[in-house]
Amino acid sequence: MRKLNDVLKKTGVEVYREITAVALYSMITSLILVVVVMFVPLMAALLLLPVLYMPLFYGVCYAYHRKTERGKSRLKDVFQGALKGLGPAVVMGFFFVVMALILWSTWWYYGGKEGIGYLAIGVFQTYFVIMALISQFYTFQLVIQEGMGIFKAMAYSVKLFLKFPGYTLGASFQAFCVAIPLVLTVVGFGFLFNGHVGDIPA
């Protein structure tokens, strides 16, 4: 497992060198996200995001893995990866949807109730969801690099999270810090986020 500061420096350098690819890959994949979030009813969006957006996100990760193998990435790799990883991407997409629904239902039910006990339950559930999401930080890379099945990769990602909690939390915090300012500028999110995360070396 690489040192976190080495990963952060390498990612920053790679994003700078590959800024055109980062922007292009992110723009293509995030167009789906913007359209679904802004123009599709909520329940339909919860079904479409795992089926449309997550395979493209997987494709970005796949394209950067191909880059490490041959020294360059191509736009075609994104779509090849999306088709190749359709199953794992959809499974992960629905996992994220379930986590989001748990979080939403928790605060919908307990958020309106008075009392410290209800607040404590809401905070605990939020912590549980966040940790569950962070525990899947390695899943796509395990599927792509190690050829694992999605469920085995999800289980092994949890093991890696428990074995290297500091590294995993630090890398996740890096992605979170990038996501917040980019979310505030929708164009920035569309142009940079997916390519940046896909370029984080595992």
Least confident of 136-145, 148-157, 171-180: 171-180
Least confident of 45-49, 67-71, 179-183: 179-183
* Predicted local distance difference test score (pLDDT) of residue 35: 77
Would the pLDDT of 43 be above 70? yes
Would the pLDDT of 193 be above 70? no
- Rounded CA gap, 75 and 60, in Å? 9
User: At 157, is the pLDDT very low, low, confident or very high (cuts 50, 70, 90)?
Assistant: very high
* Predicted local distance difference test score (pLDDT) of residue 77: 83
User: At 197, is the pLDDT very low, low, confident or very high (cuts 50, 70, 90)?
Assistant: low
Tokens 């915090």 identify what position?
173
* Predicted local distance difference test score (pLDDT) of residue 24: 66
Would the pLDDT of 13 be above 90? no
User: At 9, is the pLDDT very low, low, confident or very high (cuts 50, 70, 90)?
Assistant: very low
99-119 burial: b if 16+ Cβ within 10 Å, else e: beeebeebeeebeeeeeeeee
Mean pLDDT of 156-171: 88
In the chain, where the domains are located: 2-184
User: At 181, is the pLDDT very low, low, confident or very high (cuts 50, 70, 90)?
Assistant: low
* Predicted local distance difference test score (pLDDT) of residue 4: 43
Contacts of 12 (CB under 8 A, 6+ apart): none
Report which residue type is found at 69.
Answer: E
Which is higher by pLDDT, 8 or 108? 108
Which is higher by pLDDT, 112 or 56? 56
**Per-residue three-class SS string for the chain:** CCCHHHHHHHHHHHHHHCHHHHHHHHHHHHHHHHHHHHHCCHHHHHHHHHHHHHHHHHHHHHHHHHHHHHCCCCHHHHHHHHHHCHHHHHHHHHHHHHHHHHHHHHHHHHCCCCCHHHHHHHHHHHHHHHHHHHCCCCHHHHHHHHCCCHHHHHHHHHHHHHHCHHHHHHHHHHHHHHHHHHHHCHHHHHHHHHHHHHCCCC
